[in-house]
Amino acid sequence: MKKLIIIIAWALSIGAQAQNDSIDQCQFMAGYDFVTNTTDKDGNSVKDSVQLGVLVGTHTAMCKEYNVAMISDFKDYMNPDYQKGWWNARKYNLPVIYVGYPDGQISSFEKITPNYFFFSNPLPDFGWKLLPDTLTIGGFLCQKAIGQYGGRTWIVWYAEEVPVPYGPWKLCGLPGMILKAEDKDNIFCFNFVGLLKKTTAIKYINKDDYNKTTRDKFIVKKNKLFCSKKYVQQPNYYIPQGAYKQLGVTEMWFKGDDYTPENALSVVSYDMIIPKKVNAYQPLELK
């Protein structure tokens, strides 16, 4: 655990330097369990699960891994649950997404080890169809809506009692916070956990270390690499020879409290991981 705390402190000191421009003030954070129904390398049905936090400001929202937000944004450095959650979530190499910043845009900061990518695009038009169905989630009365984005149909439940047009991931544009979302094919589900009423600055990542690209190019690249059958058999199959040396990083296998040879995590950079074992990748965006 001491080693883990030291690594986290080092990572956050670097991350704090990367996020240095305050763009908004967080009013509260919504927490979600993000569940993906997929298969393991042998074709057996399994679930991947990770926590997300959506920091909601006055004119923008930032979505990132929940434990990272608790540690880096809300400065709860010493909570062992957040430390372990942050470490375990790293195998997903989750993006940081800003909805509504710059104005009318979505900004995405993504990772495909060992590289960083940045792109922005206009806020999507989901073509939301509002339906009369209702559901109570976390004490909030929600209404149902259906829309399309990235080649998938999304069924969502939004709460007008929380009058902001945001939700998990890139889902947005309704007259209330989206508290639950699932795709029509039952692959993905975002389940609301609760609201954390704490304030902090919402900071924008410095783009200098990121490769600028477009959404369309990035989606094609990511899906080609991770949807390959090679990925689930050998998660580092696509890493070019000599890439670690160029980064100035010595690859090592971190042996945490629940270490087994199958769940080892390869530390490539302070915020990048290549797991030794993965499940089949399911793309949120097909196109």
Q: What is the pLDDT of residues 116-175, one digit of tens each?
A: 999 999 999 999 999 999 999 999 999 999 999 999 999 999 999 999 999 999 999 999
On whether residue 195 sits in a domain, the answer given is no
Summarised one tens digit per residue, pLDDT across range 41-60 is 999 999 999 999 999 999 99
Looking at the domain assignment, is residue 169 inside a domain?
yes
Cβ 28 vs Cβ 193: under 8 Å: no
Distance CA 134, CA 131 (A): 8
- The confidence score (pLDDT) of residue 263 equals 57
Residue 198 located in a structural domain: no
Q: Global pTM?
A: 0.89
Say if residue 27's pLDDT is above 70.
Answer: yes
Domain assignment present for residue 232? The answer is: no
What's the number of domains the chain is made of? 1
Task: Give residue 10's pLDDT.
Answer: 45
Look at residue 175 and tell me if it is in a domain: yes
Q: How far apart are CA 270 and CA 261, in angstroms?
A: 21
Q: How would you classify residue 186: left for phi > 0, otherwise alpha for psi between -120 and 50, otherwise beta?
A: left
Query: Does 69 reside within a domain?
Result: no
Per cent of the chain over pLDDT 90 is 69
Radius of gyration of the chain (CA): 19
- Give me the DSSP letters along the chain: -HHHHHHHHHHHHHHHHHEEEEEEEE-EEEEEEEEEEEE-TTS-EEEEEEEEEEEE-SS-EEEEEHHHIIIIIT--TT-HHHHHHHHHHGGG---EEEES-STTEEEEEEEETTEEEEEEEEPP----EEEEEEEEETTEEEEEEEEEETTEEEEEEEETTS--S--STT---SSSEEEEEEETTSSEEEEEEEEE---EEEEEEPGGGSEE--HHHHHHHHHHHHSSHHHHH-TTTTPPTTHHHHHT---EEE--TT--TTS-EEEEETTEEEESS-PPP--S---
Residue 177 lies in a domain: yes
Q: Over the range 52-90, which residues count as b (16 or more CB within 10 Å of their CB) and which as e?
A: bbbbbbeebbbbbbbbbbbbbbbeeeeeeebbbbbbbbb
176 in any annotated domain: yes
Domain assignment of residue 163, given as a range:
129-187
More confident residue, 236 or 14: 236
